[in-house]
Structure 1
Amino acid sequence: MDIKLDSYIDVIPGIGERKKLIYNRLNIFTIRDILNHYPLRYEDRRMFKRLSEIRQEEMVSIKGIIQSFEIKKPKQGMTLIKVTIRDGYDIGELTFFNNKYISNKLITGRTIKAYGKAKREFGKVRMTSPDFEFDSSRLKTGCIYPVYPLTRGLSNDEILKVLKLIINEINMESLEYLDGELREKLKLCGLGDAIKNIHFPKDPILIKIAKYRLVFDEFFILHLGLKVVKGITEIEKGISFKNQSKLLDFIKNLPFKLTDAQEKVVKEILSDMKRPVPMQRLVQGDVGSGKTIVAFISLYNSYLNGYQGAMMAPTEILAKQHYESAKEIFCELGLTIHLLTGSTTKKQKELIYKSIRDGECDILIGTHALIEDKVDFKNLGIVITDEQHRFGVRQRGKLLGKSDFTPDMIVMTATPIPRTLALIVHGDLDISIIDQMPSGRKPIKTYAVEKKKRNDVYSFAAKEIDKGRQIYVVCPLIEENEKMDLKSAQDLYESLKSNYLKDYEIGLLHGKMKAKEKQEIMDSFLEGSIDVLVSTTVIEVGINVPNASVMIIEDSQRFGLSQLHQLRGRVGRGEYQSYCVLVYVGKNEVTKERIKTMVSTNDGFEISQKDLILRGQGELFGTRQHGIPEFKLADISKHQSVLKLAQQIGDEIIENDPKLERKENSTMKTELKLRMTQINGIIIN
């Protein structure tokens, strides 16, 4: 049989078109995919217990000689098979329902082995519908049994049989891509052995050894690939932005002084922009730390050197806010700034397209509308994407592609990510961190209140409104179901209007509204004609109302820590003391830990580290949006030491051989090509 790693799964005998589609549902398309379909857990079935030693309700492996069997049909459509077995002097009974396979295999005197829950009744051990096999077979009993993620129409036994066939057919040593010397230095087992032992382990220690190698691989291949991609970008021709003299006057004349952290990040960016290679930098800063002005300084630097700049935001509200802020900052400097979003009229769009083509537009701010085919820049010099975690690699790449040369790029995020995670998610970027808040900001006071005491919460809110302040109320998140979220927001809105806050002006904001409606509500809130804004998490990003002083989050136990922190960051933007009130129900450990963390700290980096531990990297923010693969075994919160080792080794290899051109790295490069094509189109040449 000719089985190769890139062969489709239907090369295996018995897997036809129908079964192939079932495997595809588990993202298993090729032989490599099924080898990388790892068990969820293991059951230790190695020890066979004598019938006389078995405890009640014990999960156990047993074996015995078939003494007799009977097949009955108690009713139409049901077949009942009872098998009596003997183990020495003891008798056991196995019961099976509608099992055609076993009825053809039962022979008196034959050895049968079974694994299941044993019950002792009337002096006899009984098992109902156990896993079973005959004679010397050891696929289900007398072994460590792997349990796999499944889907309807596919059984654990089928996966095991296919894996056994593949591992017997393929030369497992050919999977290796690391040389023996490096493996020995890192104390790693061979990749072929790791795959064998993750699926068919003879000992629990072999599972640990296999997992260590496979976790290392997941981190190492991704880090190495992103480093190679970064290296390729760095040798592309970029723009050298040398004219920076007027920039210092611009910074000096700002209506506020930059923090030390902002100055440090600006210095890093300007240094990058001087170099004739494309800048690729992540600017990471907590909510309200002042990333926007850093972006504007970078855009102005591009303008001073005769180039256009583009800034892309994930929502119209945020794009418009950036547009208004940019007009205010640049009002006396003669720049032409345009806003382009989905709700821009056709006539306006045509005028903006022409302005961009002719080079009259200096800065274009907008949403995904910026990557439309009709947007054609004359000389794009810098691209900035805000709230980077909401854009995929391809979207970012499409914007970067709107230039004859590679423009500089800054990606910004207000979701603080622990540095170890940032190096994985953004391994192709240099990282700048704004870890300081502007002076004069009062820390937000956070309180946790059980739902039964929410009367007190809204009494407090009413007092704040009477002082002239405004309030946000965020409705519970309902399993990311937009229809249910909308109902939840409407119910909360009606409840507050008729009860707790009936004497005040209340507005409702949700994701199903048209952009124009959303903007009208937000403008009314900003102007102060709405006292209370009830909203879904659409307000999580980019809303700036300095007069809003209270954030009430209903059913806060439904939110992750990082999301709670983002929501809290909507207040505390003015001169007034601000408050965040977490209304919650339930007392499970995760809820307690989240509430305790939110009440005790305003530090976004500390919060995201805790969120990583509580929820894992996959849920912290959708990994698919980042364009990174979902790790099968690696977990950044649990495997940080392995991650650091993989990054260190990857860095050493790339430092000595940036494009992996040396002979000793050829197998590594081949492996990289095979695996990295799965990551949102990243291709290693």
Structure 2
Amino acid sequence: MQHTGGYNRSHGRAGRLSDELSGAPNRQHRSDRDGHAFKKHCKKTRKKRLPLASQQPGRFAMTQSYDLDQSVSVLRGVGPKKTEALARLGIEQLRDLLYHFPREYRDLRSVLLINDLPDGQKGLVCARVVLILPGRGYGRNKTMRLLVEDATGQMEVVFFRSGFLERAFSVGETWYFYGPVQVKDGRVRMMHPEFTRADGYEPRGIEPVYPLTKGLSQRELRNWIRALMADVGNLEETLPAPLLEEKKICSLAYALRHMHFPSDETAYRLARFRLIYEELLTLQAALFMSRSRFGEGRKGIAFSPSISMQPFLEALPYAPTGAQRRVLGEVSGDMESDRSMNRLVQGDVGSGKTLIAQAAIFKAVSSGYQAAMMAPTELLARQHFETLKRDLGPMGIEIALLTGSVSGKAKAEVLEGLKSGRISVAVGTHAILSAGVEFVHLGLVITDEQHRFGVNQRLMLTEKGENPDVLVMTATPIPRTLAVVLYGDLDISLIDEMPPGRQPVYTERFGEGDRERAYRLLADELYAGHQAYVVAPLIEDSDVLDSRSAESLYREISGRFPDYKSALLHGQVPPKEKEAVMEQFYAGEIRILVSTVVIEVGIDVPNATVMLIEGAERFGLAQLHQLRGRVGRGRARSYCLIITDVTSGIADERADVFCRTSDGFVIAEKDLELRGPGEVFGFRQHGLPELVLADPLRHARLFQESRDDARRLLERDPSLKSPENRAFGQRVRTLFERMEHVVL
């Protein structure tokens, strides 16, 4: 059955429950297809039923026992197609099914009277069909309307595109209806509800609503999970007994039972707290393990304080900002200590992170060591190579480029130069990681846009030297609340000041009716000799999403501006072709680049002064900010033009914040608030497992508490293999192995 949200604020007991359930997990945004695909059942005169009392939690009359490590295919009704559908939700084993939590709940404990139905919310009523009203439309697309009544009044029931229901109802029958309510001018209307005959139905309990995918229904998921409840008691407790006692935490079996089928508000609250705490504790312990793998606090190279960065800084044609000087001092202090540096440098687009990297390289090379700098794309690596060669080359530092396209004699010369020490700095892509690349004295490793590199990749690079210092850089603003989680005790430097003279990008919002004015601004910049980005949220046109695609925009733009060479770029373009397009855009041969978000982290094109973003409501705030960072990199004034017709809700608030501020950290905090941790840069983009239940904003205290507890556990038992920690340690190691792309 189609449903549009939780039963959030109804009267009485249901209202209290909804306050507890309003934080129900909603990380997996998949459409609920249980619903009016239900029409197949109606055709067979089978009616969708809300759960019977005998199906409520506490009555798990299951005789079959399961091994939770078994495939879901052992469940009754799970054949190859259902197995494939469950796999799309990340559910392969029975244990995965137990941890597939409801995204909301329906409180079916109370039947309301029509006159008591809450406007704008959902309710459950029992009413008699008085009249079958004429609908609008034809055939299957026809709107179906009923007039129903109980002892307190009448209500109109509306079903959209449900002509097939015309023969499902008869005047005089009594039905239960559950759905969203509208009350206007004293008239009550329920839109597209679920329904079941009143005969023999006893509405009791709280019903879970799960994230679905095509080919699965709510009823199937509920039945399968209910079948596992008999075996939940056999699950090994995963949290150490002392922690359970200290935190007054419920057992794992209790938590899983009442997360899926809560008996009341208190049971739900206890279950949810337990699972959130365990999720955070496991994540924090896995992060600590990753850091120890990098040898946090290990003895490293102590560069001499007598070798200063100052000669390099004095040779620059400009003075570093105060923020750059502060970060340079932090990096220099790390390099001069005997503890290996492991520092993250955060800085907004254009804040001057490259200068920090160059100064660190200068100090390392001047001390007799080599340096390696790794970038995620060949084009970005080449750009870094050219910048380093321009600024450090005149100081006698030999720099080489090593990417996949460097081969033959040129590659052999680079490899020989690194092995002999003749070449001091290698700049490249993943090619630097290959087994044939050897350094004689590697002392500094730098990675740019570090969320593109996994733990194993960076380990491979650091292992090419003896405990080299590590510096990672990102232009991705990370909210402070997430930085604490992502990096814990790591050293974090923040460049929070822009170089003088850099103009903020003028940002303006346009409705569909203002498109012509936006195009005129774009035309003015092209006429002035500049270049432009045009960004779309989709590659191809969609029947489901009402947004312009990159392909349709490319056709329109290339037809509208025939005098300027344009190109199309998206994620399905082969890597070599993409590199060629970006090279031409960088060289100025392509004047208009129509693209999806693949240019979100890209190269520096100072001549690109205007970006037009189509369907801006479909992007997150932080993502919009990263896109905007592609322009405004030269001296000319730059523009970011966003097109959206959305004038209310979160999308409207997002557009308003984006136009008002250019501070990436303010934007990142707001994005976290509006979208949640799974969508913002902190977790998904940094490769961390998505948080299913925990929320950095709502559970900030628990984040800190879980980190302290994880640290204490690992201090006492670094391998987490003692009898009381064994089960928890296994969970942590399993998570650690999945964190291939985590950034530390």
The answer to whether the 8 Å contact 1:493/1:508 transfers is no
Q: Provide closer, same or farther for how the CA distance between residues 422 and 209 of structure 1 changes in structure 2, counting only shifts above 3 A.
A: same
- Structure 1 partner of 2:303: 242
Change (3 A) 1:173 1:358: same
Q: Is the 8 A contact 1:46 1:61 kept in 2?
A: no
* 1:204-231: CA deviation from partner (whole Å, max 9, x where unpaired): 3322332222122212211122123323
Matched, 1:320 2:369: no
Kept in 2, the 8 Å contact 1:489–1:535? The answer is: no
Q: Secondary structure at the match of 1:572?
A: coil
**CA deviation string 1:137-190 (max 9, x = no partner):** x9x95322222234556554454444444433343574241435x446545433
Percent identity of equivalent pairs = 37
Please tell me whether residue 215 in structure 1 is matched to residue 276 in structure 2.
yes
Match for residue 380 of structure 1? Answer: 442
Q: Is the contact made by 2:566 and 2:593 (CA closer than 8 Å) also made in structure 1?
A: yes
The within-5 A match list for 1:424-443 is: 424-427=485-488, 429-443=490-504
- Distance in 2 between residues matched to 1:219 and 1:390, nearest whole Å: 24
Preserved contact between residue 285 and residue 433 of structure 1 (Cα < 8 Å): yes
> Do the aligned partners of 1:442 and 1:572 also contact (CA within 8 Å) in 2?
yes
The answer for the alignment partner of 1:618 in structure 2 is 678
Alpha-carbon distance in 2 for matches of 1:604, 1:559? 15
Unaligned runs of 5+ in 2: 1-63, 128-167, 178-193, 543-547
AA at the equivalent of 2:260: H
Q: Deviations over 1:265-303 (max 9, x none)?
A: 222223333344443222111111111111122222332
Amino acid of the residue matched to residue 123 of structure 1?
A: G
Contact 2:126 2:198 in 1 (8 A): no
1:611 to partner: Cα distance = 1.7
Change beyond 3 A, Cα 1:552–1:677: closer
Residue pair 1:383, 1:407 contacting (<8 A) in 2 also: yes
The residue identity in structure 2 corresponding to 1:490 is Y
Pair 1:198 & 2:259 matched: yes
Match of 2:479 among 415, 418, 434: 418
Taking the aligned partners of 2:408 and 2:617, their CA distance within structure 1 comes to 44
Q: Are positions 1:125 and 2:185 aligned together?
A: no
Partner of 1:474: helix, strand, or coil?
Answer: strand
TM-score (norm 2): 0.72
Equivalent residues in 2 for 1:249-264, closer than 5 Å? 249-264=311-326
CA shift digits 1:316-345 (9 cap, x unpaired): 222121111000111222222112233334
CA RMSD in angstroms comes to: 4.1
Among residues 455, 458, 463, which one is paired with 1:393 in the alignment? 455
Q: Who is 2:567 aligned against?
A: 508
Deviations 1:433-456 (CA, angstroms, capped at 9, x unpaired) = 211111222323222222322333
Q: Of 566, 585, 588, which residue of structure 2 is paired with 1:522?
A: 585
Q: Tell whether the 8 Å contact from 2:108 to 2:124 is kept in structure 1 after alignment.
A: yes
Listed one character per residue, the Cα deviations across residues 35-92 of structure 1 (whole Å, up to 9, x for unaligned) are 21112222223347899x999x9975989xxxxxxxxxxxxxxxxxxxxxxxxxxxxx
Aligned to 2:49: none
Query: 2:622 aligned with 1:562, yes or no?
Result: yes
Match for residue 497 of structure 1? 561
TM-score, length-normalised on structure 1? 0.77
Distance in structure 1 (CA, Å) of the matches to 2:640 and 2:83: 52
3-state secondary structure, aligned to 2:288: helix
* Equivalent position of 2:370 in the other structure: 308
Q: Confirm whether residue 584 of structure 1 aligns to residue 644 of structure 2.
A: yes
1:49-198 superposed matches below 5 A? 60=124, 121-126=170-175, 142-151=204-213, 154-171=216-233, 174-180=236-242, 182-183=243-244, 186=247, 188-198=249-259
1:601 matched to 2:665: no
What corresponds to 1:634 in structure 2?
Answer: 694
| Cα 1:474–1:360 shift into 2, 3 Å | same
**Quick check: 1:552–1:581 contact (8 Å CA) kept in 2?**
yes
Evaluate the alpha carbon distance shift between residue 177 and residue 125 of structure 1 in structure 2; reply closer, same or farther with a 3 A threshold. Answer: same
Q: What letter corresponds to residue 32 of structure 1 in structure 2?
A: R
After superposition, the Cα gap between the structure-2 partners of 1:263 and 1:132, relative to the gap in structure 1 and judged at 3 Å, is farther
Provide structure 1 residue ranges, at least 5 long, that are not aligned to the other structure: 64-118
How far did residue 388 of structure 1 move?
1.8
Cα separation, 1, equivalents of 2:706 and 2:628: 36
Q: Secondary structure of the residue that 2:477 maps to in structure 1?
A: coil
- SS of residue paired to 2:320: coil
Query: What is the 5 A alignment of 1:363-378?
Result: 363-378=425-440
Aligned-partner residue type, residue 452 of structure 1: G
Number of residues of Structure 1 aligned to a counterpart in Structure 2: 613
**Structure 2 counterpart of 1:560, one-letter code:** G
Q: Secondary structure of the equivalent of 2:678?
A: helix
**Which letter maps to 1:544?**
D
Q: Which residue of 2 aligns with 1:269?
A: 331
Distance 1:177 1:593 in 2: 41
Aligned to 1:103: none
Could you tell me whether the CA contact under 8 Å between 1:239 and 1:381 is conserved in 2?
A: no
| Number of the residue aligned with 1:30 | 93
For structure 1, which segment, 272-281 or 358-367, has the greater mean C-alpha deviation from structure 2 after superposition?
A: 272-281
Contact 1:388-1:412 at 8 Å conserved across structures: yes
For 1:491, the aligned partner's letter is R
2:520 pairs with 1:456: no
Asked if the contact 1:280/1:428 (under 8 Å) is kept, the reply is no
**8 Å CA contact retained: 1:226, 1:428:** no
For the residue of structure 1 that corresponds to 2:740, the secondary structure is coil
* Cα pair distance change 1:193/1:42, threshold 3 Å: same
State the secondary structure of the residue aligned to 1:473: strand
